[in-house]
Copies of this chain bind each other. A is one copy, B any other.
């Protein structure tokens, strides 16, 4: 899967779907952070927030690793987690879409 060719059109579709999902992820992260920050009253709350941010940053870096060799897996996960809809991927080849669908469906 890692040696799939991506046409310019597919790259645009991929970049757009990826960008929308990542922006939503960041918006949720910030909203969640604001709630935690507002509720913080003592140092331990701050250390917990620090730890949480570090952890989320690592996860997001890992989950949104935009390399063409990874995109099929990334989109499959995003689709399975409801973070993108299948129609956002229209424009990818039928081969790529079917791989994504297959990986996204429960075992």
Chain B residues with CB under 8 A of A29: 43, 46
CA distance A46 to B43 in the complex (A): 17
Task: Kindly state whether residue A40 has any CB partner on chain B within 8 Å.
Answer: yes
Residues of A within 8 A of B (CB): 26, 29-30, 33-34, 37-38, 40-43, 46-47, 49-50, 53-54, 57
- Name the 6 nearest CB pairs between A and B, nearest first: A37-B37, A50-B53, A26-B43, A50-B50, A46-B53, A50-B54
Known A26-B43, A49-B53; further 11 A-B contacts with Cβ < 8 A: A29-B43, A29-B46, A30-B40, A30-B41, A30-B42, A30-B43, A30-B46, A33-B37, A34-B38, A37-B37, A50-B54
